[in-house]
Amino acid sequence: MSAQGSTLALRCYQIDAFTDQAFGGNAAAVVLLQPEALPLDDAVRQAIAAENNLSETAFLECSDGNDFSTCTRFGLRWFTPATEVVLCGHATLAAAAAVYRQNPASELRFDTLSGELVVTRQEATGLLSMDLPLMEASAAAVPPGMGPGSTLVQAAVGNLAVEEVRYAPSLKYLLVVLQNDGESTRQAFLSLQPDNQALGAAHTEGQLVGVIVTLQGDGVHDFLSRFFAPWAGIAEDPVTGSAHAVLGPYWAQSLRRQVVARAEEGKSSGAPAAADTPNDEVAAEQLLRRRKGSKADSKAAGSGGSAKQQPPKVISAVRDQVYGGGPLTFEQQAENSVVSLLAVIFFVILAEGVFLAGSGFMPDWLDQFAQDIVFPAFSPTLLLFLAISSAYGVWKTRAGPEEEK
Identify the CA nearest to 41 among candidates 91, 88, 1. Answer: 1
| CA pair distance 51, 318, nearest whole angstrom | 27
For the chain, give the secondary structure using H, E and C: CEECCEECCCEEEEEEECCCCCCCCEEEEEEEECHHHCCCCHHHHHHHHHHHCCCEEEEEEECCCCCCCCCCEEEEEEECCCCEECCCHHHHHHHHHHHHCCCCCCEEEEEECCEEEEEEECCCCCEEEEEEECCCCECCCCCCCCCCCCHHHHHHHCCCCEEEEEEECCCCEEEEEECCCCHHHHHHHHCCCCCHHHHHHCCCCCCCCEEEEEEECCCCCCEEEEEEEHHHCECCCCCCHHHHHHHHHHHHHHHCCCCCCCCCCCCCCCCCCCCCCHHHCCCCCCEECCCCCCCEEEEEEEECCCCCCCCCCECCCCCEECCCCCCCCHHHHHHHHHHHHHHHHHHHHHHHHHHHHCCCCCCHHHHHHHHHHHHHHHHHHHHHHHHHHHHHHHHHHHHHHHHHC
- Residue 36 annotated among the catalytic residues of the structure: no
Residues 6+ apart with CB under 8 A from 385: 342, 345, 346, 349
HSE value, Cβ hemisphere, 13 Å, CA-based, for 167: 16
Q: Is 332 exposed, middle or buried (0-12, 13-18, 19+ CB in 10 A)?
A: exposed
Catalytic residue among 56, 61, 264, 352: 56
Catalytic residues: 56
